[in-house]
Amino acid sequence: MFNKTLKAAALGLLSVMSVASVSASDLKQGEIVKLEGKTAKVYVGTVNSIVKGQLLQINRLRATNSVLEGDPLYSYQEVGEVFVNGFSKSQYINVQITQGNLKLGDRVKINN
């Protein structure tokens, strides 16, 4: 009984430590919600750290094609870049696609 309790406590502690190890910059991202030719609308939640003219990286969740035990099956990989044109409402930014073939749901990495 004591051994099971100890294992459960250790597992809980490890899960909290792994969540705490994610930095604030890893959590800042947006999502492409509308595409029209070479322009897109991105949901960012808040535009506080974004400036007009900023260049942002676009990532997509893709298979890693790794079959090794312990390696992730999927990871976010860079697929393009966008240029911030302006703001739309308080939670969206308008962007110009400068590189890549983007899709709805792609993630925008927001640098501080």
What CATH number did the domain enclosing 28 receive? 2.40.10.410
Predicted TM-score of the model (pTM): 0.66
* Other Cβ atoms closer than 10 A to 107: 17
Q: Please report whether residue 64 resides in a domain.
A: yes
Q: Please report whether residue 14 resides in a domain.
A: no
Q: Please report whether residue 62 resides in a domain.
A: yes
C-beta separation of 83 from 31 below 8 A? no
> In terms of pLDDT, which residue wins out, 18 or 86?
86
Q: Please report whether residue 36 resides in a domain.
A: yes
Percent of the chain with pLDDT over 70: 75
Q: What is the DSSP string of 1-16?
A: -HHHHHHHHHHHHHHH
Q: Please report whether residue 68 resides in a domain.
A: yes
Q: Please report whether residue 99 resides in a domain.
A: yes
Burial tier of 40 (Cβ tally within 10 Å: 0-12, 13-18, 19+): buried
pLDDT score recorded for residue 74: 84
pLDDT score recorded for residue 3: 59
Per the structure, the complete domain to which residue 78 belongs is given by: 24-109
Nearest one of 46, 31, 29, 49 to 90, comparing CA atoms: 46
Largest CA distance in the chain: 62
Q: What is the pLDDT of residues 44-72, one digit of tens each?
A: 987 777 888 999 999 998 888 888 888 88
Give me the number of domains the chain comprises.
1
Residue 11 has pLDDT above 60, yes or no: no
